[in-house]
Amino acid sequence: MNLLLIHFAMRASAWSDVSAALRRDSLADDRPNLLRVGCAKPSRRKAAPTIAGIVCGLLLLVWPVALHAEDGYRLWLRYERIGDEKLLAAYLPALGQIVLSTPAGTDSATLAAARTELAAGLDGMLGLKAVVIVVAGAPASAVGEEGYSLQTTPRDGRRTIVISASRDIGVLYGAFALLRLIQTGEPVDKLNLTSVPKIQRRMLDHWDNLNGFIERGYAGFSLWQWFQLPEYRDPRYRDYARAMASIGLNGTVLTNVNANALVLTPAYLEKVAALAEEFRPYGIRVYLTARFSAPIEIGGLKTADPLDPAVAAWWRKKADEIYSYVPDFGGFVVKANSEGQPGPHEYGRTHAEGANMLADALEPHGGILMWRAFVYAADNETDRVNQAYKQFTVLDGQFRDNVVVQIKNGPLDFMPREPFHPLFGAMPHTRLALELQITQEYLGLSVHLAYLGPLWQEVLDSDTFAQGPGSTVARVIDGRLYERDLSVIAGVANTGSDRNWTGHPLAQANWYTFGRLAWDNTLSAEVVAREWTQMTFGRAPATVATVAKILLGSRETVVNYSMPLGLHHIMAEGHHYGPGPWVHHERPDWSSSYYHQADEIGLGANRGAKGSNATGTYAKELAARWDDIETCPENLLLWFHHVPWDHRMKSGRILWDELCLRYQQGVDEVRTIQRDWDSLAGKIDAERYAHVQALLRRQESDACDWREACLLYFQTFAKRPLPAGVEAPAHDLAYYEAVKLRYVPGHPGDY
């Protein structure tokens, strides 16, 4: 017994050293990670054993994995100590000296950041105080402006890893890549690799308002403390920049696409400049959303007509002013003539005329203009999914060289599943950007688990046939298909002021995956999921396999219990959380029935050649396949076709039975995910384990609501019983129709 108490006391006494290391390795130095369950805050110095210390030591012995509270703040940059002795034996000889090589060979804030990161990572993972030096090297032309090479080579009689690049930002990316290799257990003793980003501008779009509210944000409020800037700069800005650089993202759009012109005034430009200073060492340029009517709202003009010389002059002067505050300012994002936002159509001008006027103001400074193609109007009889195609294809070739038309992945609005946007195959003379939504507006917010890597890979791999087979969306947007010299990808951010950044602990995987695919769009969602899991939860094979399995199937699970077989836009009004197939609005295109078109005959939108002809907006190879109900893929069937309830599906079941069983399958899959997650008890930290477990319980309840509400509603048209294998509803349809959620995160109303 005495020996046991001594053991506990020794463990408790050593805790101060462990805690100090954890604080040192955490993303924010001023944010200590403390042991849970009420243990006293550990001292930095060794102390005599106390009762509290003995209790802490006992807890450490009972649950050795939970050495400290893991609240998710450190994201994938945890740099936990490697316990595998074989790995340590392999790494230590190879990492004694690291050389950072750039043509300039002089220090900079970016190289200092690389040295700091390497020191923290190697010390945290290996306990190694590696020598990191900066030298002048030959220009690494093969890696371009941002790429890097990693090589293991002898130098001064010792094995050395050389991180070389044409610019210091490439060195920083290379430093993060080296640490990633170590985190994921990859060998580094014979490195000889080169990595170059496939897309030039890789950015997050923050839909953040100046009052701190984030539209479609589900992880708290904005990271940007506008009221306190520029004097006080939250240390979290640096941690945000580190996370961005670690996955190769190089731009951030600070403000909401539903823009506020005030951000373009001097009082706010000072604040923007302060953020730009914080981000600059990590290679991140800032961008702003420009409200098209700003010349009227803050400029005192009576018009915002893009062809009015006074308006063009005002924007040129405003661009000059912005660049005086932020010399490396990236440019503007504009949402115009959509959902009430002002634009050139008010003056009888085209999207190209509006975009070109702003692009001309940015061009002398090297800025770019990203003009969003998310446009639709209430007074338009054209199928909503065809409106952007109709408005933009006639403008192909009319945009300036520094204009990029930014297009959502699908023609509607970030649905759980929809076909790729037809504009990607229809504008060969225009620079096109892909816009993805990382925040889960239609996939359960940050309550439901939905790993979006498979969705994005599905889009990137889609063949437009624009230049024959192999003309994938990935090749369109990265410039390879048409040899473009400007390429852009944007992701609507899922970050916020929540301690763990993204609300749902596993939603961090979406931020990470977006960055990795933005750098290299040939990576597979599975590879990236496993990589993120290793960096976030450790390399134990069973843990990695389980978490990766959970992630990879989760998006399809959400599709199954919410909008299977090509159903879309049948969610609750306004906040979009939960089912609402009955939603009726005075605007048809805001009504669920506009999209599902349920009647006594069948279900689904009629978008074939005999309907709205959305199939005709795609290449003939796709149109022919999708136009035929027999050859249309079943996961898009109800997107393109109004299908009879008794239509025989590939399973041999009729549509009604198949639909019901898909909804049930989604619920069953959530339960499988719960069991898989439960199997991780004791294998990962208690805090994140419990958080995810609680959210999965909510997800199961919500999945049941989706299943029951949708099937009861569609049953009023199908007039068929639920097939065997589908659980009986807990309530009647009137119950679900009466549900009204209040103050749902991410929506400004009281829906």
Active site residue 413: yes
Q: What are phi and psi for residue 643, nearest 5 degrees?
A: -105, 130
Q: What's the half-sphere exposure (Cβ side, CA atoms, 13 Å) at 751? A: 16
The residue type found at 677 is W
Of 313, 301, 360, whose CA–CA distance to 332 is shortest? Answer: 360
- Angle at the Cα of 602 (from 597 to 604), degrees rounded to 5? 40
The answer to whether the beta carbons of residues 539 and 270 sit under 8 Å apart is no
Q: Which tokens hold the place of 255? A: 């403000």
CB atoms within 10 A of CB 640: 25
CA distance 625 to 297: 49
Determine which one of 71, 441, 498, 687 is catalytic.
441
Active site residue 531: no
CA distance 605 to 412: 13
The DSSP call for residue 579 is B
Evaluated on CA atoms 651, 653, 654, 658, the torsion sign reads negative
Length of the chain: 751
The answer to whether the beta carbons of residues 531 and 180 sit under 8 Å apart is yes
Biggest alpha carbon–alpha carbon distance for the chain: 89
Of 281, 243, 255, 257, whose CA–CA distance to 112 is shortest? Answer: 281
Whole-Å CA distances, 414 to 410, 459, 569, 599: 6, 11, 10, 26
- In 3-state terms, what secondary structure has residue 668? helix
Q: Which tokens hold the place of 322? A: 């912005």
The answer to whether the beta carbons of residues 621 and 627 sit under 8 Å apart is no
CA distance 241 to 276: 10
CB atoms within 10 A of CB 24: 13
Q: Which tokens hold the place of 198? A: 């496939």
Active site residue 700: no
Q: Which tokens hold the place of 502? A: 């993204």
Q: Which residues pair with 369 in a beta bridge?
A: 332, 403
Whole-Å CA distances, 182 to 73, 310, 317, 392, 540: 20, 57, 49, 47, 14
The residue type found at 124 is G
Reduced 3-state DSSP string for 345-389: HHHCCCHHHHHHHHHHHHHHHCCEEEEECCCCCCCCCCCHHHHHH
Q: Which tokens hold the place of 743? A: 């103050």
Q: What are phi and psi for residue 666, nearest 5 degrees?
A: -60, -45
The residue type found at 302 is K
Q: What are phi and psi for residue 652, nearest 5 degrees?
A: 95, -10
Whole-Å CA distances, 117 to 101, 573, 726: 16, 45, 53
Determine which one of 84, 339, 401, 732 is catalytic.
339
Q: Which residue has the tokens 């010399």?
A: 327
Exposed/middle/buried for residue 732 (C-beta within 10 Å: 0-12, 13-18, 19+) = exposed
Q: In what order do the strands lie in the sheet with 148-155?
A: 131-136, 97-102, 158-164, 148-155, 192-195
Whole-Å CA distances, 450 to 65, 90, 550, 606, 699: 26, 37, 9, 29, 11
Determine which one of 383, 413, 669, 702 is catalytic.
413
Residues taking part in catalysis: 339, 413, 441
